[in-house]
Amino acid sequence: ARQAAGPPFPWASEWMCVTQIQLSSAVGRPRSYSRSNGTGSSYWKTSSRMAQKEKEMCIGRKKFNMDPNKGIQYLIEHKLLTSDVQDIAQFLYKGDGLNKTAIGTYLGEKDPINLQVLQAFVDCHEFANLNLVQALRQFLWSFRLPGEAQKIDRMMEAFAARYCLCNPGVFRSTDTCYVLSFSVIMLNTGLHNPNVRDRPPFERFVTMNRGINSGSDLPEEQLRNLFDSIKSEPFSIPEDDGGDLTHTFFNPDREGWLLKLGGRVKTWKRRWFILTDNCLYYFEFTTDKEPRGIIPLENLSVQKVEDPKKPFCLELYNPSCRGQKIKACKTDGDGKVVEGKHESYRISAANAEERDQWIEAIRASITRVPFYDLLSARKKKIVGK
């Protein structure tokens, strides 16, 4: 099993942080001061208090990155933050030493204090005289957008309201800004995701956004500027793991050896499977850093199946598009990433219990892409007005 490289004990990261501060404080002490001297005594007390505060702030950041709510509570208890939502929002907005995924987690919570901090956090952003793509670049770089639809909805709702407040007259309603923001995010995926072969042309982007401005169309020049901006420069999304795919596999939902049916001549091959982040990855060896294949699980279903050649089988399929290829990718014999050709994936486990555990884990991981549902619901709202 893959394990994250790092401190062997939960407390080790905090201990390492404190040790670094103590060492840096020791290095910076002037030799001319003496503990027995009055001036020196005052210096030592001030220096000691500063070192203590630095230590507590470092611990607070570490706690926040592991559990955002507990981290904020620790900082408040040690008087490094007040409980005022503006103070907390500024702390998150500056983001010094904070994990951007943790920031997104905190802002996405539904507790009243978190909702107030979200609003204050969005208000920290100045969007005046920025076009929508420029504003989205700034906003989406300040934290990592979570995956849950309700959290995304609240965050993008707050963004749209703030953008329209900073730029009155650009859109007729915040709903227009909300819908166009999602369209731009999906356009970014369509234009720059290496697994998407059908690149959306400008005309499709225009068609997708017809009638969203309170029943009217947005100016084509405005849409062209947004399209060209995304086409020339994709969004930079925070990657707290440094972009290393291996990080994804540190804490999987499930992993293990399974047999997979595939190839031009259908044969069963033993593969190491990892289930994490709503994707199923498979490797030739457990030591491989890059997967042989990636199967995104959104919109798929899983079921038990009988196979004449192998027992304990399960099948991944798209219930709404039977007979069509599943969106997936793999590496071919030359190491090139190519589109998968499976209409379904048949996999065999070692026994019935293991098969059922995989099915349960996959079902728990499967999710629909939230952007499409949110976009569809908001377009219906605009049409209904």
Active-site residues, by number, are 148
In DSSP terms, 274 is beta-bridged to 255, 281
Q: What DSSP element (H or E) covers 202?
A: helix 202-208
Task: Give the chain's length.
Answer: 385
Question: Which stretches does DSSP call E strand in the chain?
Answer: 254-262, 267-276, 279-283, 293-296, 301-305, 313-317, 329-331, 337-339, 344-348
CA dist 121 and 37 (Å) reads 47
Find all residues with CB under 8 Å of 9, minimum gap 6, and list them. none
Q: How many CB atoms lie within 10 A of CB 22?
A: 13
CA dist 23 and 38 (Å) reads 24
Query: Largest Cα–Cα distance of the chain, in whole Å?
Result: 89
CA dist 253 and 263 (Å) reads 27
CA dist 291 and 273 (Å) reads 9
The angle that helices 174-192 and 370-384 make with each other, rounded to 10 degrees, is 150
